[in-house]
Structure 1
């Protein structure tokens, strides 16, 4: 049995921060019956005016619906909010940002209390909710995902990545990690041109175009990692890139810019070259980052 996308459903939402409020508004706009709870009760007032029902306690909010969505500050907040709730027979969907390990532990905790559990990783900021660009990774109970798929797809596109409850968080954090590294490079780039006769707005267009052009390299790396030949299809080998790093460092020094954002990555490249793998691309570097990597 699955939700019928054409019929209103009942669900509970715990947590009305910016993301929780955006989720609630999307479900209300689609005609669903939404019970809300927030530790600071006044945050529910605008949503009540839009048709939501506010519950005085988290336990009462949970009791109101079979589908319980949690969007709180952290994993500890989830445990506190659900501590007194009766979870038997409930489908708990946790959209709180967590680590894969925390998601697995929370799944076991919920199942032990009689619930089905889905963990979710939201790949969007609050203003994106309800737009085609927003999507959420889900992992955990396939039955819960299939039952509530239509409702979960209202605020954002959904992608089910497996029954291991930690997989959604792993996908989420891995993508955010790549984003963080990109932002480090962007920060360094703007630092280099800041004192030159270069308009940041003009440079931003060049930078965005260049980064888009470079994203194709992730497919090259994936193919090498899956195939096992880390030299196959390499267009810029590690020895050449490591040698070119010297120019990046000297340019930063000339501009009075520190290199602390890039230095660890450069050191990793140099270590791999020193091991005799200068003919590879970057695909050999992930192994060096694993605990105990040579």
Structure 2
């Protein structure tokens, strides 16, 4: 990812100084116009804007240990947690630097390709992001999501978590047809069409979680959904397929219903989301 980012800035005519723990990776960019720094301190000293893209948060502390960050603008594109983003912001402030954390919604092949739709969440110093927005938007669009330094990572992880849930459901669907006279390529467009139609749940659930109204204008009641879930589980068993990818969500709906059948049977399934905040129960 770091290489992809650097290449887009170089292609756009920006002066880029690079350093990498694996020197050969940095050297590959020199042929494209980058300046190779002999050390992290040299890379930091080269420009006011310093972009970090490492394996993890621990790597940032190790690489920049003892490096003078006074007056620098640090943009952290390293994948991390909200807590790490907040802690790293405080760490940067103690060293006299402005800080913005980020979460990249895209893969390296999407960087620098506008039609690919990649973008980056930023949070922390609004002034930093706005001052450097033109540069930051060269690789991918920039979306500022708040001055809490942890919010970029939180948005990133929230979307990625939803993605993996989607992948889990798709994987289960394909497992069900294994061994049957149904080609995966024939199921694929049906899956895409159906999942697209069900995308309304994101906005609907947001409205219900905001209003805390889980009973108005319900289309598919929780009681019915729980009763119908047995069909999914029996089918999986009949097909010799583990239900481990879908059973946690079905269990959560059942738990919501069983807590108070009279109150929750007619609810929308979004009410089950409230059970996930275990620490608050």
Match for residue 121 of structure 2 among 126, 137, 160: 137
Q: Does 1:271 align with 2:263?
A: no
Q: Distance in 2 between matches of 1:48 and 1:94?
A: 22
Q: Distance in 1 between matches of 2:28 and 2:279?
A: 52
1:14 paired residue number = none
Q: Distance in 2 between matches of 1:270 and 1:292?
A: 20
Q: Distance in 2 between matches of 1:59 and 1:233?
A: 60
Match for residue 185 of structure 1 among 154, 162, 169: 169
Q: Distance in 2 between matches of 1:55 and 1:80?
A: 17
1:255 paired residue number = 239
Deviations 1:86-115 (A, max 9, x none): 100000000000000010000000000000
Q: Distance in 1 between matches of 2:269 and 2:81?
A: 26
Q: Which contiguous aligned blocks of 4+ residues in structure 1 show a shift greater than 6 angstroms?
A: none
Match for residue 47 of structure 1 among 29, 33, 40: 29
- What is the CA-CA distance between 1:290 and the residue it aligns to? 0.8
1:76 paired residue number = 58
Deviates more, 1:138-147 or 1:269-278: 269-278
Deviations 1:159-208 (A, max 9, x none): 00110000000000000000111111011000001111111111111111
- What is the CA-CA distance between 1:293 and the residue it aligns to? 5.2
2:273 paired residue number = 286
Q: Does 1:89 align with 2:76?
A: no
Q: Distance in 1 between matches of 2:43 and 2:137?
A: 22
Q: Distance in 2 between matches of 1:112 and 1:278?
A: 53
Q: Distance in 2 between matches of 1:293 and 1:95?
A: 31
1:6 paired residue number = none
For normalisation by structure 2, the TM-score amounts to 0.96
Gaps of 5+ in 1: 1-18
Match for residue 219 of structure 1 among 203, 206, 211: 203
- What is the CA-CA distance between 1:130 and the residue it aligns to? 1.2
Deviations 1:188-244 (A, max 9, x none): 000001111111111111111111111111111111111221112321111111111
Secondary structure of the 1:106 match is helix
Contact 1:107/1:118 (CA < 8 Å) preserved in 2?
yes
Distance 1:292 1:45, change over 3 A: closer
- What is the CA-CA distance between 1:45 and the residue it aligns to? 2.0
Secondary structure of the 2:241 match is coil
Secondary structure of the 2:7 match is helix
Q: Distance in 2 between matches of 1:107 and 1:59?
A: 19
Secondary structure of the 2:190 match is helix
Contact 1:41/1:56 (CA < 8 Å) preserved in 2?
no
Q: Distance in 1 between matches of 2:257 and 2:127?
A: 48
Greater share of helix: 2
Deviates more, 1:284-293 or 1:84-93: 284-293
1:38 paired residue number = 20
Deviations 1:120-164 (A, max 9, x none): 000001100012301000000011011101000000001001100
1:61 paired residue number = 43
2:183 paired residue number = 199
For normalisation by structure 1, the TM-score amounts to 0.92
Q: Distance in 2 between matches of 1:205 and 1:196?
A: 18
